[in-house]
Amino acid sequence: MHPILFHIPLPNRPLKIWWALVALAALSAVYALWAQRRAAKQDALVGLIVAAAAGAAAYYWRGAEYRAENVPIFSYGVMLGLSLVVGWYITLPLAKRTGLPVETMANCYVWTALAALAGSRVLYILTNLDEFHTTADYFALRKGGLVAYGGFIGGYLGSWAFLARHRIRLMPWGDVAAPSIAAGLFITRIGCYLYGCDFGMRLSDSAPALLKKAGTFPKLAEGTLGYFENGVPIPGSPAFAHHADLCARGIYKAADCVALKDASFPVHPTQLYESAIGLGLLALLLWQRKVQKFRGQLFLTFVFGYGFLRFLIELLRDDAERGSLPFHSDRYVLVSFGLVAMGAAFVYGFAKAISAPQLRMGATVLAFVPGVAAFVILKTGQFEVDDYAYSTSQFIGLVSAVLAAVAFSKLWDDARRSPRLAMALGLEGAALAGDPAEAPARKKRSGDDEAEDAEGAPERPKRSGKKRAKKPEAAAAEAVAEETAPEPASGAEGDEDDEAAP
């Protein structure tokens, strides 16, 4: 566990506030003189006002000083930034290879990343309202507080808003973005592990020694990660702090709590489990590109796969900041219901992609095994109650997986009826004025499609005999009509032309 990778050293001396204010006053005065020479009187007036205000503030706070500490660079923030860089170099080459306008997709990536960051923060706030007391708390990102599913939802809405404005279909972008999301999951969860958050439940004594070692988080010195505004230190090890709280409340046995000194109890390293899930989904999506049948197939595969696996991971999580739904019932009822629902969704949607009848039948049977097994294993005695509620991410994973399967079923059926239309990008009406370099490539692709249409259309029978001479007026009108006639469009319109050809 390494929550802080390194520190940026700052001068070990007090910093006078009036230094910055004097610098601001000087810059404002220079700006005012520059604006006056350009005859921009209003800008010059604003510069003079700011200069005067900064000068007065410098005199007023001439005795104030600020002693800066070394700036910590947190491991999670570094891994989050690394995931954005890696995602950039995965998404844009895939977009170019797919035929999407690269410059527009680059802008969409930035827009999506910002929306994802905002969404992850909003969902954390909604599930942990008791942690926020002032306006500054909502923006204190250095203290943590991001939810993966909030980022997915925010990124989805941000992409939709950006692409709708440019009249570009969402699903082709989703297919090229899904591998980068999987890679980001693989990288950021390593950051979670280094920081110590998102930990799992306590391991049994019979667990493998290597797993115990990976799931033990040390106690850090008080104040290692800083302090809250009220002076309370930020817990250095979330797992250790959680176990100490359970011991103080008498939930853990006193004999066990005696050993809780320098490190947490061994727990499931769910961060590493989810990181492995991200890597596996990345490999699956890159393979899916080779057998893709319709636009949106990769995106929906990721949504379903991550939703199902996240549902299982949440069964092992033990951190208290996940949030939960108000509806409660027995554990075996809710868990088995969710797994059966996702199994039925798989059969309804994704099982259609299995061409071999015997394999499809086997997959249909296996889809319901987790739900039945959960019912048998988790079912308590007749008079015992095991109260349970879905966590926020668990519920979102369940709903998103079912919706993805329904969408997959419809799009798969559409692809069987019209394979070429299912793989169309739909860029005919896109606003791509900012991508002039893409125009030749799009024109070439359109020309290739028209050539394919021409090859697939039946030849017109040749007429024998001499043609009748046309009147000069009719010949001139026909020539004008040929010059002004629109060029045939590629994609779905090309299919209609093929059907209309004699």
CA 371, 376, 406 angle in degrees (round to 5)?
Answer: 10
Which whole number is the average pLDDT over 201-226? 87
Q: Answer yes or no: are the C-beta atoms of 430 and 322 closer than 8 Å.
A: no
How far apart CA 319 and CA 364 sit, in angstroms, is: 34
Residue 157 reports pLDDT greater than 90: yes
Which pLDDT score is estimated for 230?
Answer: 61
- Average pLDDT over every residue of 313-326: 86
List of residues 6+ apart from 137 with CB closer than 8 A: 131, 229
> Per-residue pLDDT averaged across 395-421, rounded?
96
Residue range 47-76: mean pLDDT, rounded: 83
Report the relative pairing of strands 329-330 and 15-16 from DSSP bridges.
unpaired
* DSSP E strand stretches across 261-325: none
Total-model pTM? 0.75
Q: 214-228, 241-255, 276-290, 347-361: lowest mean pLDDT where?
A: 214-228
Report the distance separating Cα 185 and Cα 76, nearest Å. Answer: 12
Q: Mean pLDDT, to the nearest integer, of 148-167?
A: 92
Burial class (CB in 10 A: 0-12, 13-18, 19+), 209: exposed
Least confident segment among 112-116, 140-144, 334-338: 140-144
The reported pLDDT for the residue numbered 297 is 96
pLDDT surpasses 90 at 301: yes
The distance in angstroms from the start CA to the end CA of the chain is: 72
Query: Do residues 302 and 285 lie in contact, with contact meaning Cβ atoms separated by under 8 Å?
Result: yes
* pLDDT given for residue 384 in this prediction: 56
Structure confidence at residue 68 (pLDDT)? 62
Confidence of residue 212 (pLDDT cuts 50, 70, 90): very high
Listed residue (220, 303, 232) closest to 262, CA to CA: 220
Mean pLDDT over 217-234 rounds to 71
Please choose, from the candidates 234, 7, 212, 183, the residue with its C-alpha nearest in 3D space to the C-alpha of residue 80: 183
What is the distance between the alpha carbons of residues 224 and 235, in angstroms, rounded to a whole number? 8
Residue 172, pLDDT score: 95
| Angle (CA) 304 310 315, round 5° | 140
The pLDDT score that the predictor gives to residue 147 is: 85
Query: Of 199-203, 218-222, 338-342, which range is least confident?
Result: 218-222
Mean pLDDT score, 284-313: 96
pLDDT score, position 19: 85
Percentage of the chain beyond pLDDT 70 is 78
Question: Where does the pLDDT of residue 91 fall: very low under 50, low under 70, confident under 90, or very high at 90 and above?
Answer: very high
Across the chain, mean pLDDT equals 82
Check pLDDT > 50 for residue 13. yes
**pLDDT band of 434, cuts 50, 70, 90:** very low
Please state the rounded mean pLDDT for residues 146-171.
92
Residue 131 has pLDDT above 60, yes or no: yes
Residue the block writes with tokens 């306008």: 101
pLDDT at 308 over 70: yes
Burial class of 239 by CB neighbour count within 10 A (0 to 12, 13 to 18, 19+): buried
What tokens were used for 344? 């039925």
pLDDT digits (tens, 9 = 90+) for 449-500: 444 444 444 454 444 444 444 444 444 445 444 444 444 444 443 443 443 3
Say how far apart CA 123 and CA 115 lie, in whole Å.
12
Structure tokens that stand for 210 in this block: 């290597």
- Per-residue pLDDT at 177: 96
Per-residue pLDDT band at 138 (split at 50, 70, 90) = confident
246, amino acid identity: L
Q: In terms of pLDDT, which residue wins out, 436 or 102?
A: 102
- CA geometry: angle at 399 spanning 406 and 111, to 5°? 90
Q: What is the mean pLDDT of residues 130-145?
A: 73
CB 267 within 8 A of CB 201: yes
Q: In the chain, what percentage of residues exceed pLDDT 90?
A: 51
Q: Are 170 and 160 in contact (CB under 8 A)?
A: yes
pLDDT at 67: 66
Measure the CA–CA gap between 215 and 201, rounded to whole angstroms.
10
What is the predicted pLDDT for the residue at 65?
A: 75
Q: How many residues does the chain have?
A: 502
